[in-house]
A = this chain, B = another copy of it.
C-alpha cells in the first residue's frame, strides 16, 4: 500500500489508533500475499520466492524479517547443509487471515 505508516493521531482521534496499528503491520508490498500463501501451509524460503515470482531475494528477506519482528510468522532453520529454512504463521499471524479473506472477497466482487 503506498505507504502505511507510523502516524500519531491526537487524543481525540484515539479511536483510529488500532486501525493504524494494523495498517502498519500489514504495510509492505508483499506481506498480504505472503500471509495468504503461508496460511495454506508451512513453506520454504524458495517456495515463497517462486510464488511471488517478481520479488528479489533481498526484498523477500526484508519482508520476512519485518513480519517475524511483528510476530506474524515463525522462522525455523534446519541444521543442514545446504540450509533449509521454513516459514509458518504464528497464531498472531493466523488471526489476520479473516482480514485477508475479506479483502480477497472484496477484490473478487469489484
Q: Which residues of B contact A1 (CB under 8 A)?
A: 1-4, 23-24, 26-29, 31-32
Interface residues, chain A, with chain B CB atoms under 8 Å away: 1-5, 7-10, 13, 16-33, 36-37, 51-54, 92, 95-96, 98-100, 102-110
Across the interface, do A16 and B36 meet the contact criterion of CB distance under 8 Å?
Answer: yes
Across the interface, do A105 and B27 meet the contact criterion of CB distance under 8 Å?
Answer: no
Q: Which residues of B contact A13 (CB under 8 A)?
A: 51, 53
Query: What's the dominant secondary structure at chain A's contact region?
Result: helix
Q: Which residues of B contact A25 (CB under 8 A)?
A: 110
Q: Which of A8, A16, A24, A95 has the most chain B CB atoms inside 10 A of its CB?
A: A16
Q: Which residues of B contact A24 (CB under 8 A)?
A: 1
Across the interface, do A96 and B106 meet the contact criterion of CB distance under 8 Å?
Answer: yes
In the complex, A7→B30 CA distance in Å? 9
Across the interface, do A54 and B99 meet the contact criterion of CB distance under 8 Å?
Answer: no
In whole Å, how far is A3's beta carbon from the nearest beta carbon of chain B?
A: 5
